[in-house]
């Protein structure tokens, strides 16, 4: 018998985290208390994932997941204090039930490049977009403007180039490094491995295609268009 995979995972935390902005104590004491809530959510998140029969995140492609918190309190909190209150629990779910908790997210869904920002969805055209986009852990360059650019990356940032030709090999020139090649995927996306914390220049060129056979001359004529043996 095959067991069905649930469409959601439910985490029940047997208490309510405090409104941290109203808490008193040293920075280290508050940090220790927040970390306890984070570890609790991490542990309960694993149990919820197993109960839902979801595979670990490292075994599946990143996808959209929505997180909803229901707070049961005697005294209500405003939006800012409620968000601050659940932040350690949300951090504990990262790497277990969700890949990232960023409110700004970029991805391909149903063949479209979609930007999630401030609770709304926008459709982007990578071949037409002009300005690079900075996300939490990545910098994205688009289309023709990605053929030549300069950037400085933070330690945890990667670079992705969108809007290139799909399944094509590109030559990559990076300042003070030997030229190398990489191939775009089916969506025309190229991931670049670049140095961090230094300003670098990058140039992309589509690699030439070798090995194509020359056109055959017409039957009864040579390559110059003359009949064989006649001048």
Range of the domain at 170: 126-206
Report the percentage of the chain scoring pLDDT > 70.
86
User: In percent, how much of the chain has pLDDT > 90?
Assistant: 37
Indicate whether 10 belongs to any domain: no
- Tell me which of 49, 71, 93 is where a domain ends: 93
Q: How many domains does the chain have?
A: 2
In a domain, 170, yes or no: yes
Q: What is the mean pLDDT of the chain?
A: 83
Task: Indicate which CATH number applies to the domain containing 144.
Answer: 2.60.40
Question: Would 161 be classed as within a structural domain?
Answer: yes
Q: What is the pLDDT of residues 37-89, one digit of tens each?
A: 999 999 999 999 999 999 998 887 767 788 899 999 888 889 889 989 999 99
pLDDT for 123 equals: 87
In a domain, 168, yes or no: yes
Residue 146 pLDDT greater than 70, yes or no: yes
3-state helix, strand, coil in the chain (%, to 5): 20, 25, 55
Whether 194 maps to a domain, the answer reads: yes
Q: Does position 213 have pLDDT exceeding 70, yes or no?
A: no
Question: Quick one: 78 and 135 in the same domain?
Answer: no
121 dihedral zone (left: phi>0; alpha: psi -120 to 50; beta) = beta
Q: Quick one: 194 and 130 in the same domain?
A: yes
Residue 13 domain-assigned (yes or no) = no
Q: List Cα–Cα distances, 217 to 18, 110, 179, 221, 227, in angstroms.
A: 83, 46, 38, 7, 11
CB distance 198 to 177 below 8 Å: no
The model carries a pTM of: 0.57
């Amino acid at each position: 018998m095959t067991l069905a995979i649930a469409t959601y995972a439910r985490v029940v935390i047997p208490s309510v985290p405090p409104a941290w902005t109203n808490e008193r104590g040293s920075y280290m004491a508050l940090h220790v208390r927040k970390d306890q809530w984070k570890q609790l959510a991490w542990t309960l998140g694993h149990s919820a994932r197993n109960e839902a029969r979801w595979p670990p995140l490292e075994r599946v492609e990143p996808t959209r997941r929505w997180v909803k918190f229901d707070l049961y309190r005697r005294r209500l909190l405003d939006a800012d204090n409620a968000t601050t209150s659940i932040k350690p629990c949300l951090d504990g779910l990262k790497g277990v039930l969700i890949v990232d908790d960023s409110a700004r997210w970029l991805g391909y869904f149903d063949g479209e490049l979609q930007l999630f920002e401030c609770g709304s969805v926008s459709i982007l055209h990578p071949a037409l977009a002009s300005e690079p986009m900075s996300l939490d852990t990545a910098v994205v360059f688009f289309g023709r403007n990605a053929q030549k650019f300069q950037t400085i990356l933070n330690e945890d940032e990667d670079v992705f180039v969108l809007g290139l030709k799909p399944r094509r090999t590109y030559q990559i020139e990076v300042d003070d490094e030997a030229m190398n090649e990489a191939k775009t995927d089916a969506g025309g996306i190229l991931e670049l491995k670049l140095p961090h914390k230094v300003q670098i220049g990058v140039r992309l060129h589509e690699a030439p295609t070798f090995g194509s056979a020359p056109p055959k001359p017409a039957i009864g004529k040579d390559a110059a268009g003359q009949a064989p043996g006649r001048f």
